Amino acid sequence: QVQLVESGGGVVQPGKSLRLSCAASGFIFNNYGMGWVRQAPGKGLEWVALIWYDGSKKYYVDSVKGRFTISRDDSKKTVYLQMNSLRAEDTALYYCARDYCSSTTCYDYWGPGTLVTVSS
């Protein structure tokens, strides 16, 4: 069965870095695009980044451009989110998700999330 498991979250000071990982299993990883979506405590969903199935294209929400980098390692079936220059407003539960649709971006499987807290 499809499984996504995020890791790497934690408490970090403003300005510092963190790398999130998402380990995938149960499907042919290099056939699918992958994405990160975050949810601040008590708030709605905010899309963060996506990477195409072959890694050729990457897109980011404006608020993280230049600070976050999405990447993938197909040999490890893992997608990463490198987060630099973290800010308090980056505090959220970060979900990794599989992009199922070819017509648009739609996430059919999600991990349980990993919590990132940016605080001094």
Partner 1 sequence: QSVLTQPPSVSAAPRQKVTISCSGSSSNIGNNYVVWYQQLPGTAPKLLIYDNNQRPSGIPDRFSGSKSGTSATLGITGLQTGDEADYYCGTWDSSLSAVVFGGGTKVTVL
Interface residues with partner 1 (CB under 8 A) are 35, 37, 44-47, 50, 59-62, 95, 100-101, 103-108, 110-113
Closer Cβ to partner 1, 50 or 118, answer by number = 50
We find the least distance from the C-beta atom of residue 45 to partner 1, in angstroms, to be 5
Closer Cβ to partner 1, 16 or 25, answer by number = 25
Closer Cβ to partner 1, 60 or 91, answer by number = 60
We find the least distance from the C-beta atom of residue 47 to partner 1, in angstroms, to be 4
With beta carbons less than 8 A apart as the criterion, state whether 2 and 14 touch: no
Closer Cβ to partner 1, 13 or 56, answer by number = 56
We find the least distance from the C-beta atom of residue 46 to partner 1, in angstroms, to be 7
With beta carbons less than 8 A apart as the criterion, state whether 98 and 109 touch: yes
We find the least distance from the C-beta atom of residue 75 to partner 1, in angstroms, to be 26
Give me the DSSP letters along 51-93. E-TTSS-EEE-GGGTTTEEEEEETTTTEEEEEE-S--GGG-EE
Residue 102 φ/ψ region, left for φ over 0, alpha for ψ in the -120 to 50 degree band, beta for the rest: alpha
Q: For residue 48, count CB atoms less than 10 angstroms from its CB and return exposed for 0-12, middle for 13-18, buried for 19 or more.
A: buried
